[in-house]
Amino acid sequence: MADSVRLVFLGGVGEIGRNCACIEVEGRILILDCGLMFPDLEMPGIDLVLPDFTYLRDNADRVEACVLTHGHEDHVGGLSFLLRDLEVPIYGSPLSLGLARNRIEEAGMLGRTKLHPVKDGERRQIGPFDVEFIPVTHSVPHGFATAFHTPQGVILHSGDFKIDLTPVDGRAMDLARIGAIASDEGIRLLLSDSTNAEESGHTLSERSVGRVVADLFAAYPDKRVIVTCFASHIHRIQQIADAAVAHGRTIATLGRSMAKNIGLARSMGLLHIADSALVDIEKVGNLDAHRVCVITTGSQGEPMSALALMAAGENKWLTVGAGDVVILSSHAIPGNEASVGKVIDGLYRLGAEVIHSGLARVHVSGHAMREELKTLLSIARPQAFIPVHGEFRHLTHHARLAAEMGVPESRILLAEDGDVIELTDSSIDFAGEVPAGYLYVDGIVGDVGRGVLRDRRVLAEEGVVVVVVTVDAKSGEVLTGPEIITRGWVYAPEAEALLGEARAAVLAGLEEATDRGGRDYETLKRHTRAALGRFVHERTRRRPMIVPVIMEV
């Protein structure tokens, strides 16, 4: 009997973001990706959300290494936080490591890891793990699918992928290698990207965007062209730059991550822009509009990004107007639609022309659609299947697709965050759970608990009412107040009568407490909160946060 192998999902199954899984062989743990998730509107003031690292902290002595599939934030953005808890070496393509390194370095955690670059197709022994790195195409270059050759057979993880048959850099997904593993050893288990499991058809090649962008440059020969896309989308940047140069324009970049990633990709030979084609953003003002192309960050409408500032007329370097055409070569991530819409509105208001993915094919997805998912399933022919990288609905559709493709339903597992899966000689099945809640981060460090988040939600939706009252410490008699201060409940200057009634309600509540003999601080506080809360709800049907401040003298 061969040793069993375990999989532990710490994030990314049940949501898009904070991808993190563990593979366990001979009691050792290999972490596959460590990403973050961007907060939604239900999380006011939260900067990012991480996987719960409790399991890794509790088993720190068993952790062998971390392997990266690619350099997107939802796969590498959690590393700088993980490294606070444990020292761990990281393996990935040079570009993935380069992108991950930025944040790790900023957090001062570089000393707690060693970065090991791996090549396309390389097979590495990492402790007891035999890992093969198989090239895939995606919206960042040099992504991998990873094949783990384990005592329980081959586990193939697709990573984020699409099947782009005409990739911009000529580096195709190595489907042949996957087919070879399938026919030689067989694939025991496939874990595959579910992001676009609801989308029928096939994604368009990244190259198609290049043609559309080039056509737009031709259509607006007299305008300044400003293009935004993800700063890690090196192939997109290459195509924009090629179109700009072909139309006699020089390129300026805007946004810190754009400048950083372009520098990194050029130094690695992954992005080809001649020095002579680049100009400092400070000098753009001196050039004719039709000789300039600006590539900027801010494709998600992030409030302080270069593009959002442009749309608000507050960008330090660029004043947008009727002489500009702005191309959003991107698609809003769910939750960001409103911010992106606001930016587009702002740009139109300033007189600019705006081209977005709703108007022209200036963006294509980096994630496989149904026909591509079927292609991978048919080449890998896995004995068992677990859909990953998706919300529950995406996982469900992907699971059904696998069933249609002939994977027996008894061997399709719909796993979620926190699930542990065990592979033995005879079965693949659920084998317990580990903590996998959201770890909320506000600012650089610091875990914000659910309590804080609940408070913020109440404050955002219902406002706050603070009541300040001074009482005699011995008798409980009210000496001054109650004074009522509110934000977001009623507009105080116009609600004096209501506030007067609220003060009376508080006094009545305090009287009730002292009549029953309650003099202590906690009792007075509780009665104040209850009386005011009741009054506020009865009169206005609202439930703002009530904050009693009792001062004893």
Residues in contact with Zn ion by the rule CB under 5 A = 72, 74, 160
Quote the least distance from Cβ 34 to Zn ion, whole Å: 12
For residue 544, give the DSSP letter.
Answer: P
Quote the least distance from Cβ 387 to Zn ion, whole Å: 14
Is 367 annotated as catalytic?
A: yes
Task: Name the residue among 285, 312, 293 with its Cα closest to residue 250.
Answer: 293
Which of 75, 142, 367, 394 is flagged as catalytic? 367
Which of 74, 160, 193, 242 is flagged as catalytic? 193
Quote the least distance from Cβ 143 to Zn ion, whole Å: 7
Taking each helix axis from N to C terminus, what angle separates 234-246 and 256-267, rounded to the nearest 10 degrees? 90
- What are the DSSP calls for 65-99, one per residue? EEE-S---HHHHTTHHHHHHH----EEE-HHHHHH
Distance CA 313, CA 346 (A): 8
Is 193 annotated as catalytic?
A: yes
Q: Residue 35 or residue 533: which is nearer to Zn ion going by CB?
A: 35
Q: Residue 72 or residue 397: which is nearer to Zn ion going by CB?
A: 72
* Pairing, β 224-228 against β 292-296: parallel
Instruction: Look at the alpha carbons of 300, 302, 303, 306 in this order and tell me if their dihedral is positive or negative.
Output: negative
| HSE-CB for 360 with a 13 A CA cutoff | 19
Distance CA 326, CA 477 (A): 66
Radius of gyration of the chain measured on its C-alpha atoms: 28
Quote the least distance from Cβ 368 to Zn ion, whole Å: 11
Q: Residue 250 or residue 257: which is nearer to Zn ion going by CB?
A: 257
Quote the least distance from Cβ 543 to Zn ion, whole Å: 38
Q: Residue 161 or residue 220: which is nearer to Zn ion going by CB?
A: 161
Q: Residue 35 or residue 481: which is nearer to Zn ion going by CB?
A: 35
Distance CA 513, CA 123 (A): 74
Instruction: Look at the alpha carbons of 442, 446, 448, 452 in this order and tell me if their dihedral is positive or negative.
Output: negative
Quote the least distance from Cβ 327 to Zn ion, whole Å: 22
Q: Residue 72 or residue 235: which is nearer to Zn ion going by CB?
A: 72
* Side chain identity, residue 131: V
Known catalytic residues? 193, 367
